[in-house]
Structure 1
Amino acid sequence: MRDYTLFLIIMVLVPIILARPWVGIPAWFWVGLMVPHSLTWTFMRTFPIATVIGGTTLVALLLAKDRRPLPLTREMVMLFLFLAYVTMTSYFAVNSSGAWGFWQHFVKILLITFVTPMLIHGQKRIVWVLLVITFSIAFYGFKGGIFTISTGGNYHVLGPRDSFLSGNTYIGIAMLMVLPMILVTARMFHQKWVDLGYPIIQRFSRPIGWGVYGVFWLTAIATLATYSRGALVGVLAIAPFLFINMKKKWLLVVTGFVAISVVGLTVPDRLMDRWQTIQTYEEDTSAMQRIQSWGVSWNMAKESPITGKGFRYSVLGYDWWIQYAEFEGHWRHVLSPHSVYFGLMAQHGFGGLAVFLLLMGFTFMTLNRIRRTARRKTGQIWLAEYAWAIQVGLIGYLVAGAFLDVAYFNLLYAFIALTVIMRRELEEAPQTETAQEEARSARQPWPAANGVSPTGLAPRTVNRSADHG
């Protein structure tokens, strides 16, 4: 039944996308992040959903009358530069066939990143994309939180089967990245910042908001229950930002005090054991494998600082890989760099890592600007809040990414596309009266002191009556 339902949804989406091309963008993110075909049992598990949705969206893009030009912001320029750089390193890759195969996969991710700003503009479209991205991952946070509570935290929370997010570490960083977005979404519904154009949603906006608050806490529990050390460190990194942004901090503190001192709620032993392995990493095989892999990546980058070794170098096997290691353990583990930064360093050299870090830095600065100015300049509370959410999610990614190989995660590039779109939305929105008055004041000459201007000349007298003809 699930297969037939999903097939029907896809077949209905195709004509809708052709009629309204922008719908293809949230549909693409839904397919890529939630991976709905992983929830089916038979023929839809191998059905080319991404190809159908992506191909239809590209065709619709050519027919779209409201297509916008691609904004050449510094983020987009760096994305093009990053694409050019990984193309160059793929040409010099030690595993040429494997490198070009993964290059094609990465180009597909970047293609939708470039297309998104062309079709998504205006408040409603932007918010719908934000909601689809948020709930595509929050769906697994909701499931995982309930599963963790019902089983007492005795099992890992895993992602959708046969997908990039299937492992506990990857679904952990995905939930970590959208956790601030879930919080902002709950507040948006509860406080009715945006009218999505559906009266029934507006009517039940507050109950929906309370429900999303519940999803936030279930997702937080599920993130911890992945027992991924990278996710745990990421949670610690973003927790202070989440706490500061919460409106009723006292209620959270009181609830936590009652839960610990009165109810006797404690952290599951498995979570504590996992956390302690960070302090005693020398005794933990998994941690030592990471240190070994980081040494390998560093030595590869030193040998090829500009070109790196290219994508899929690990296919050459353990005997080739171990020659770059500082030490050899008693294991023959999957040859993963176990880090965004060391992975980029090994694959694309120090040059590729530098381009990626510049891209992250520009994205972070743009989000910071939107967060600081949207509320005051244009009165767009939702824009400021979602910029904050993406910014905090990016912090979580950058911290947890030190321990996870997720440099080509499509959620990250969705964040970059959204940053570009939100910047354009801020620049094109009409300013509030207060912002306009501040701008006019900034353009006025310095006020004269005792009849003398800062230049030492007497201020000119302007005949205002002339302004009225």
Structure 2
Amino acid sequence: MRDYLLFAIIIGIVPFILKRPWIGIAAWFWIGLMVPQGHTWGFMRTFPLAMVIGLVTLAALLMNRDRRPIPWSREMILLAVWVGYVTLTSVFAVNPAGAWDFWVKFMKILLITFITPMLVYGEKRIITILLVITASLAFYGFKGGLFAISTGGNHSVLGPPGSYLSGNTYIGLAMLMALPLILVSARLFYRQWVDFGIPIVKRFSRPLGLGLYAVFWLTVISVLATYSRGALLALLVITPFLLWRMKHKWLIASLAILAVGVIGITAPERLTERWQTIETYEEDTSAMQRIQSWGISLNMAKENPVTGMGFGYTNMGYDWWSSYANFEGSWRHVLSPHSIYFGVMAQHGFGGLAIFLLLLAATFLTLNKIRRTAIQHTGQIWLAEYAWALQISLIGYAAGGAFLDVAYFDLYYAFIALVVIMWRELQEAPSPGEAATQNTKDNTASPASPRFPDFVATRTTDQNESK
């Protein structure tokens, strides 16, 4: 039943994409982040949803005039440089076949990143994309939070099977990056910052906001229940920023102290044990694997500081990989850099790492400008608040990514596209004073030529005067 329902949704959405290509961008993010085919058991489980939606969106882009030029901001320029650099390192990769195979997959993500600013513009489209991304990951926060509560935290929360987010570490980081977006989306509806022009949404705006507040806390529980140390550390990093923007932060802190100190509510034993391994990392196999992998990545970058080893170097086998190790261990080896920084360094050398960090820093600084100036410049509260949310998400990505191999996570590149779009929105939107002046002119200006019903009234008046 689920297979047929999903198939009907995909077939039904195609005509809308052909008419309005930007809907294809929303569908792409929904499929890439929520992975609806992962919840089916029949023919749709292996159906190439992303390819179908991507091709339809590209066709609609070519056939439709509803598009804008690519805004060549510093982020887009750095992204283009990033494309060129990873292409160069793929030419000199130690595993050419594996490198070009991953290069093709990565270029598909970047193609959508470049297309998104062409099709998404204006308040309602931007907010729709933000809400689609938020809802796609909030679904797992809601589901995982209820699962953790019902099982007492005795089982790990996992992502959709057969997807990039299937592992506990990856879904943990994805939900963590969605946390600030869920919080701001709750405020968006509860405080009614935007009029969506849909009566039912306006009528139930406050209940929707309250529901999203509940989903926020369920997502916090869900992140903890992944038992991913990378996600736990990232949550610890962003928690002060989240609490600082909350209206009742002292009440929340007091309730937490009351729950732990008086009522006796404690974290599951498995979670506390997992947390304690951070302090005793020398005794933990997984932690020592990471330290070994980081040393290997550094040694690879030293050998090839400009081009690195290229994509797919981990497929060269353990003997080749371990020849760069500083020490050996008795554990089961997983050939992974376990870090966005060391991973990029090993794959693309110090030059690639510099470009990657510049792109991350430029994106963060642009968000900071939007956050500080949006309300004053345009009066758009939602623009400033979502800029803040994306900033905190990037902080979580940078912190959690230090322990996870997520340098090519499509959510991160979706954020880059959104930053470019939001910056353009800030630059083009009129200030509150200009908007009010324009509305006054529109209301008082006389038409250049008679129009219905003006010419009817004019003729009636003339006839009365002639009598």
2:329 matched to which residue of 1? 329
Q: Which structure 2 residues correspond to residues 51-70 of structure 1 after superposition, within 5 A?
A: 51-70=51-70
Q: Which residue does the alignment assign to 2:231?
A: 231
Aligned 1:421-460 pairs, distance under 5 A? 421-433=421-433
| Amino acid corresponding to residue 111 of structure 1 in structure 2 | L
Question: What is residue 467 of structure 1 aligned with on the other side?
Answer: none
Specify the code of the residue in structure 2 equivalent to 1:309. M
Query: Partner of 1:324: helix, strand, or coil?
Result: coil
Aligned pairs for 1:59-208 within 5 A: 59-208=59-208
**Aligned positions of 1:8-87 closer than 5 A:** 8-87=8-87
Deviation at 1:87, TM superposition (A): 0.1
TM (norm. structure 1) is 0.92
Deviation at 1:263, TM superposition (A): 2.5
Are the aligned partners of 1:377 and 1:435 in contact in 2 as well (CA < 8 Å)? no
Superposition deviation, residue 433 in structure 1: 3.0
Whether contact under 8 Å (1:318, 1:332) holds in the other structure is no
Contact 2:176 2:396 in 1 (8 A): yes
* Contact persistence 1:377–1:432 (CA under 8 A): yes
Cross-structure match for 2:4:
4
The answer for the alignment partner of 2:253 in structure 1 is: 253
Distance 1:351 1:404 in 2: 21
Aligned residue type for 2:380: Q
Letter matched to residue 154 of structure 2: N
Q: CA deviation at 1:436?
A: 11
Q: Does 1:392 align with 2:374?
A: no
| Structure 1 gap ranges (5+) | 438-469
Distance in 1 between the 2:332 and 2:83 partners?
Answer: 33
| 1:404 partner amino acid | L
Equivalent residue number for residue 404 of structure 2: 404
Q: Which residue of 2 aligns with 1:346?
A: 346
Match of 2:364 in 1: 364
Contact 1:376 / 1:435 at 8 angstroms: preserved in 2?
A: no
> Who is 1:279 aligned against?
279
Partner of 2:377: 377
Mapped to 2, the partners of 1:221 and 1:265 lie a distance apart of 14
User: Matched residue pairs, number?
Assistant: 437
In structure 1, what is the Cα distance between the partners aligned to 2:320 and 2:310?
15
Aligned-partner residue type, residue 222 of structure 1: S
- Cα RMSD (Å) of the superposition? 1.3
Match of 1:290 in 2: 290
- Tell me the residue number matched to 1:441: none
Shift of 1:259: 1.9
Measured in 2, the distance between the counterparts of 1:6 and 1:432 equals: 43
Please state how far the C-alpha of 1:376 moved relative to its aligned partner: 1.2
Whether the 8 Å contact between 1:148 and 1:222 is mirrored in structure 2 is yes
1:198 Cα offset (Å): 1.2
CA shift at 1:296, angstroms?
0.4
Give yes or no for contact 1:3–1:42 (8 Å, CA) kept in 2.
yes
User: Which amino acid in structure 1 is aligned with residue 412 of structure 2?
Assistant: L
CA distance in 2, matches of 1:296, 1:257: 43
The aligned amino acid for 1:423 is W
Find the aligned partners of 1:251 and 1:135 in 2 and give their Cα distance: 27
Per-residue deviation, 1:67: 0.5
SS of 2:323's partner is: helix
Structure 1 residue 261, shift from structure 2 partner: 3.2
TM-score w.r.t. length of structure 2: 0.92
Which segments of 5 or more consecutive residues in structure 2 lack a partner in the other structure? 438-467
CA contact (8 A) 2:141 2:222 kept: yes
Is the CA contact (8 Å cut-off) linking 1:375 and 1:384 kept in structure 2? yes
- State the Cα deviation string for residues 402-434 of structure 1 (Å, max 9, x = none): 000000000000000000000000001111239
Separation in 1, partners of 2:259, 2:63: 57
Deviation of the 1:73 alpha carbon = 0.2
Give the Cα separation in 1 of the matches to 2:145 and 2:332.
Answer: 34
- Secondary structure, counterpart of 2:397 in structure 1: helix
Q: Secondary structure at the match of 2:326?
A: coil
Aligned partners of 1:90, 1:434: CA distance in 2, in Å? 50
- Check the 8 A contact 1:141/1:219 in 2, yes or no: yes
Distance 1:95 1:48, change over 3 A: same
Cα drift, residue 156 of structure 1: 0.7
CA distance in 1, matches of 2:366, 2:66: 25
**Following the alignment from structure 2 to structure 1, what is the Cα–Cα distance between the partners of residues 254 and 307?**
55
| One-letter identity of the residue aligned with 2:218 | L
Asked whether the equivalents of residues 33 and 411 of structure 2 are also in contact (C-alpha less than 8 Å), the reply is yes
1:264 and 2:264 aligned? yes
On the 8 A contact 1:234/1:397 being kept in 2, the answer is yes
Query: 1:354 is aligned with what amino acid?
Result: A
Shift of 1:254: 3.2
What corresponds to 2:215 in structure 1? 215
Secondary structure class of the residue paired with 1:154: coil
Shift in Å at residue 270 of structure 1?
1.1
Identity percentage of aligned residues = 68
Q: Look up the match of 1:444.
A: none
Conserved? CA contact 1:306–1:352, under 8 Å: yes
Matched with 1:455 is: none
Describe the superposition over 1:60-80 as per-residue Cα deviations: whole angstroms up to 9, x where unpaired. Answer: 111222200000000000000
Q: CA deviation at 1:250?
A: 3.0
Residue 435 of structure 1 and its aligned partner are, at CA, apart by 12
Report the counterpart of residue 465 of structure 1 in structure 2.
none
1:374 Cα deviation from its structure 2 partner: 0.3
1:425-451 superposed Cα distances (whole Å, 9 cap, x missing partner): 0001111239999xxxxxxxxxxxxxx
